[in-house]
Amino acid sequence: METKTAGNVKKSEGWFWRVSVTVIGALVIAAAVLTILGDFRSKAPKVHSRHGPVVQKYADALGIAMQFFDVQKSGKLVNNRISWRGDSGLTDGSEEGLDLSKGMYDAGDSMKFNFPMAFTATMLSWAILEYGDQMNAVKQLRPAQDSLKWITDYLINSHPSPDVLYIQVGDPDLDHKCWQRPESLSSQRPLTQVNTSFPGTEVAAETAAAMASASLVFKKINSTYSSSLLMHAEQLFAFADTYQGSYSVTVPSGQRFYNSSGYGDELLWAASWLYLASADRSYLSYVTVDHGQEFGNWRRPSWISWDDKLPGVQVLLSRIDFFGASEVPIAENLALQMYRETAEMMMCSLPPDSPTATSSRTESGLIWVTEWNSLLHPVGAAFLAILYSDYMLTSGTEALECSGRSYSPGELRDFVTSQVDYVLGENPMKLSYLVGFGENYPQYVHHRGSSIPVDATTGCRDGFKWLNSSAPNPNLAVGALVGGPFQNETYSDSRNNSMQGEPSTYNSGLIVGVLSGLVTSSPVAKSFL
């Protein structure tokens, strides 16, 4: 699959409005087709809203995976259920008069990188919106909402004015020279911001997406908080779109850790969520007639990640096409069709027996794209696939057509379970890559807090003895989804092996989403509102 185009992107005029007479004729024909299609969907068989039986394996795995958010929390902990974690980062932001004590540490270090953290929040919001009832059935909805709010509280405080966003707490060079528990940090914690002079479109837009999606999560349970989130999202999107520029240029230190390959996808992602959260048609126009062709990479599917949101955009806008197309003007609807077509191309690449199956997988069938954090892509693909499968189920769409081969929602779900079961231990190593699940999982996770005894007194440098220790981690990083196997399906359980053994908060956002979809069979709601 292709990755998104590197470099910056510029706004262009709405290309849909420059149409020929021939295209106008095509629009008329398309309108008739869409009317018929809408009529067909309105007559689609209704799906039971009752849950199927709980699949205990996935319910157990979800309960474990959810706990890694608690492992990663910064700030003054409330109802702490991780015995070896304590308060940390309490003075973060204080030099600028801000309270940035909350949020979550990125991975095995003590950095707060807002770009991937906001992506985590967006994916967790999406999971709650689609599968909150299934989470609730196994008592995981409240922990998910609490973890989401821990991040969004921090993101709100990171945005003190419309055109200023603090995007990083800590210096990665200083932080990585130390091996300390976050409770005993001694390195400096400088702040990094983007603003009108030093823009950061992708991180501002991703934060807008996180705020907008979270506003939907809290809409019925805390309307004041929800409104605040939506206000911040709208301001951040305006800032991101008006002052376009890559944060990788503004913040060179970020290039080595979370370098962005372009920001068109984040603009589409944010505008899509803002449309769903606000029902403001201008955001729908933004992602369709105004910038769909420019930023959308139609018919060129890719893999979802903290850097590439286009697959998420395609599936999210397919949702509108599945359930709300009859309310969308013709020109916008044609663009939605292009997003859905691209999403279907992605879905068709996933089943191993598909005529268009991707070759990016291991011999045992795990989607495998990159050496570093290899589980990011299969888990992300599985999350999108379970969503798409359930959109098909709820809408009464019987089959996905893939170059002459048809796939039912159940068959797409089979692909999802194949990826998740691999992660949970059905692999050549017989190793669960989810720490705490099963009897055999990594013991030497690359994670500072997990590797240092709670009663140890360490400074910045002498803590490295725990990194280099031959003993297993004294503290269980419960719920951590480690980086994953190499393409030959081997895994080296070494604390120094950060390529394979370092967990990340955004990995957790994705695995929580897909597990929530597998806990029990149930159609998704037709509307988030």
Choose among 242, 238, 226, 310: nearest CA to 276. Answer: 226
Please give the full DSSP string across 299-323, using - where no structure is assigned: T-----SSS--HHHHHHHHHHHHHH
In this prediction, residues 468-485 reach a mean pLDDT of 98
What does pTM read for this prediction?
0.91
Position 216 scores a pLDDT of: 98
Q: What is the DSSP code (8-state) at residue 15?
A: G
Per-residue pLDDT at 493:
98
- State how far the Cα of 185 lies from the Cα of 175, in Å rounded to an integer: 9
The residues with which 300 forms a beta bridge, in sequence order, are none
pLDDT per residue over 177-222, tens digit each? 999 999 998 888 999 999 999 999 999 999 999 999 999 999 999 9
Q: What is the pLDDT of residue 45?
A: 32
In whole angstroms, give the CA distance from residue 389 to residue 211.
Answer: 26
Write down the domain spans for the chain: 75-279
Q: Would you tell me how many other CB atoms lie within 10 Å of the CB of residue 522?
A: 20
Report whether pLDDT(86) > 50.
Answer: yes
DSSP letter for 290, please. I
324, burial (CB in 10 Å: exposed 0-12, middle 13-18, buried 19+): middle
Mean pLDDT across the chain:
90
pLDDT digits (tens, 9 = 90+) for 272-330: 999 999 999 999 999 999 999 999 999 999 999 999 999 999 999 999 999 987 788 99
How is residue 341 written in tokens? 């077509």
Tracing tokens 């419309």 back to the chain, one arrives at: 162
Report residue 214 as tokens: 């979270």
Q: What is the pLDDT of residue 242?
A: 98
Looking at per-residue pLDDT, the higher value among 252 and 425 belongs to 425
Angle between helices 409-423 and 505-518 (to 10 degrees): 130
Which pLDDT belongs to residue 470? 96
Q: What is the CATH number of domain 75-279?
A: 1.50.10.10
pLDDT score of 326: 77
Annotated catalytic residues are 446
The pLDDT tens digits of the residues spanning 137-173 come to 999 999 999 999 999 999 999 999 999 999 999 999 9
Q: Quick check: 19 pLDDT over 50?
A: no
Q: CA dihedral in degrees (336, 340, 346, 347; nearest 10)? A: 160
Rg, C-alpha atoms of the chain: 22
pLDDT at residue 29, as a whole number: 34
The CA distances from residue 33 to 62, 80, 223, 310, 333, in Å, are 42, 55, 40, 27, 12
What is d(CA 147, CA 176) in angstroms, rounded to the nearest whole number? 26
Report residue 514 as tokens. 């897909």
Q: Whose CA is closest to 80, among 92, 65, 70?
A: 70
In the chain, what percentage of residues exceed pLDDT 90? 84
Phi/psi at 165 (nearest 5 deg)? -140, 120
Collect all residues with Cβ–Cβ distance below 8 Å to 321 and sequence separation of at least 6: 333, 336, 337, 339, 340
Q: Residue 345's CB: how many other CB atoms inside 10 A?
A: 18
Cα separation, 356 vs 217, whole angstroms = 36
Give the pLDDT confidence score for residue 62 in this predicted structure. Answer: 98
User: Is 334 in contact with 27 (CB distance < 8 Å)?
Assistant: yes
pLDDT for position 50: 54
The pair phi, psi for residue 161, each rounded to 5°, is: -150, 160
d(CA 212, CA 206): 10
In the numeric block, the tokens 């705020």 are attached to 211
Question: Which helix (H) or strand (E) is 339 found in, with range?
Answer: helix 330-348
